[in-house]
Amino acid sequence: MYIKRYTMAVSLFVILLGWYVYTFVTQESFAIGFFGIDLPSLPIAVLVILPVVLLYIASVLHMGFYSLVGTLNLRKYEKDYEKLISSISDALLGKKNRHYEFKTQRYKQLGKVLDNISIFTNGQITEVDDEKLSTTLGLINKIKNGEVVDLKKYALSSDNQLVVINDTNRYNAGELEAENIVAKPSRYSKELCMKAYADLSKVASASVIEKYKEFMSKESMLNVLSRINADKNTLDITNESLIELMCSLDLKEQDFIEASNMLSKHMVPEQRIKLFELLSDKTDEAVGGYLYTLYDLEMLSPADEILDNSQPGEYMYFKAYRALRECNKKYDISLFV
């Protein structure tokens, strides 16, 4: 655009200059020689405008060169901007091992920072002018709102937070089965495997529960215990299996007491006593559960024997309960634990 205007202006100037010299100065011609070679005779008016034309050509070449350089630099900035948008999108998605090569110095600094950070949104941004960022933000918002989206094309790792949430959404929507999840733990997060196992523990057979016991939690254990001799989803499991499952957890004394209280609803007293007797042999933390079981079933002699052989500061609640019983004060054992 500017070269066109410049050309028109120079052309007008050259015409006027040549016309003025030819009309008002001289109409004579003059021959120029170079290195002994005589060139054809030219009007002086033409010789006057010739340097202007040469200057015009040189200036156009100069402007053309720097225009080309500017265009190439602008293209570098445009390419780097596109890479910057991709880098921001990857940071929002939480991609690992991100690295973009930038050509311009300013974008290099920004790129170095973006390659080593994660960006989290507060859900307030729903749209931006850039289509790629808008798509990424919309995707993240859908996942956080419990919707299921297709993340395959983004090649995110299985432990990526968005993948974890999306897999949970898929599980909640019924697209994934609990047993398939725990059977392929490398594909899913530990949290989802634990959740799926907890749901399995409500309905699965003893063999399935034991097969995937690595995902056992306190919640799952209580689900298992609640099914023993229950009216619905009854679970047929031996004391030995129960002991193995319970000992796989880091249960405290109160957890064993809670387990005994739950088993009091359905488990046969003899089996319950035997279970906690064996557990107390395995871990000292289970002794409290054993004492609770004995007092709950009015098995006073074995309970007294344990308390008599304990240290002064141990099992104080049970000792207080025994003291009240000796004073003919009867209370529910659950009030003391």
Q: What is the pLDDT of residue 147?
A: 94
Q: What is the mean pLDDT of residues 190-218?
A: 94
- Tens of pLDDT, residue by residue over 298-312, are 999 999 999 999 998
Burial bucket for residue 249 (CB in 10 Å: 0-12, 13-18, 19+) = middle
**C-alpha distances in Å from residue 140, one per residue of 41, 125, 246:** 80, 10, 39
Per-residue confidence band for 336, with pLDDT thresholds at 50, 70 and 90: low
CA angle 208/180/238 to nearest 5° reads 5
- The pLDDT, as a whole number, for residue 211 is 94
pLDDT for residue 199 = 95
278 has pLDDT over 90? yes
Question: Which amino acid is present at 172?
Answer: N
pLDDT of residue 192: 93
Length of the chain: 337
Digit-coded pLDDT (tens) for 2-35: 788 888 988 998 899 889 888 888 888 777 776 6
Give the confidence band of 126 by pLDDT, cuts at 50, 70, 90. Answer: low
- Torsion sign (Cα): 174, 242, 240, 266: negative
Task: Give the type of residue at 174.
Answer: G
Least confident of 119-123, 159-163, 236-240: 119-123
pLDDT at 196 (0 to 100): 96
Pick the range with the lowest mean pLDDT from 38-42, 203-207, 235-239.
38-42
pLDDT classification of 173: cutoffs 50, 70, 90: very high
pLDDT over 90, % of the chain: 45
- Please state, in angstroms and as integers, the Cα–Cα distance from residue 293 to each residue in 104, 166, 247, following that order: 74, 44, 18
Please tell me the predicted confidence (pLDDT) of residue 245: 93
The answer to whether 141 and 123 are in contact (CB under 8 A) is yes
Overall average pLDDT of the 168-193 stretch: 93
User: Which of 100 and 275 is assigned the larger pLDDT?
Assistant: 275
Say if residue 212 is exposed, middle or buried (CB neighbours under 10 Å; 0-12, 13-18, 19+): buried
Percentage with pLDDT > 70 across the chain = 96
Averaged over 222-230, what is the pLDDT? 92
pLDDT band at 1 (very low <50, low <70, confident <90, very high): low
pLDDT at 337 over 70: no
Average pLDDT, stretch 96-111?
Answer: 84
pLDDT of 133 higher than 70: yes
What local confidence, expressed as pLDDT, does residue 274 receive? Answer: 95
Given a cut of 70, whether residue 207 has pLDDT beyond it is yes
Higher-scoring residue by pLDDT: 117, 166 = 166
Q: What is the 3-state secondary structure (H, E, C) of 40-60?
A: CCEEHHHHHHHHHHHHHHHHH
Q: List Cα–Cα distances, 94 to 138, 154, 187, 242, 274, in angstroms.
A: 15, 10, 17, 41, 52
- 177 and 187 Cβ atoms separated by less than 8 Å: no
Tell me the pTM: 0.71
Residue 123's pLDDT is: 67
Mean pLDDT of the chain: 88
Read off the pLDDT of residues 56-79 as tens digits, 9 standing for 90 and up. Answer: 888 888 888 887 887 777 888 889
